[in-house]
Amino acid sequence: MSELIISNPKIMMGKPVIKGTRITVELILEKLAAGESVDQILNEHPRLTREAIQASCAFAAEALKADVVYPVEEATA
Q: Give the model confidence (pLDDT) of 23-77 as tens digits.
A: 999 999 999 999 999 999 999 999 999 999 999 999 999 988 877 766 777 766 5
Produce one character per residue of 52-73: b if its CB has 16 or more CB atoms within 10 Å, e if not.
Answer: bbebbeebbeeeeeeeeeeeee
Q: Which amino acid is at 40?
A: Q
- 2-63 topology per CATH: Arc Repressor Mutant, subunit A (1.10.10)
Confidence at residue 77, expressed as pLDDT on a 0 to 100 scale = 57
**CB–CB of 38/53 below 8 Å?**
yes
Confidence at residue 72, expressed as pLDDT on a 0 to 100 scale = 77
Domain range annotation of the chain? 2-63
Confidence at residue 74, expressed as pLDDT on a 0 to 100 scale = 72
Nearest alpha carbon to residue 16 among 45, 47, 57, 49: 57
Cα end-to-end span (Å), the chain: 42
Confidence at residue 14, expressed as pLDDT on a 0 to 100 scale = 93
pTM (predicted TM-score): 0.82
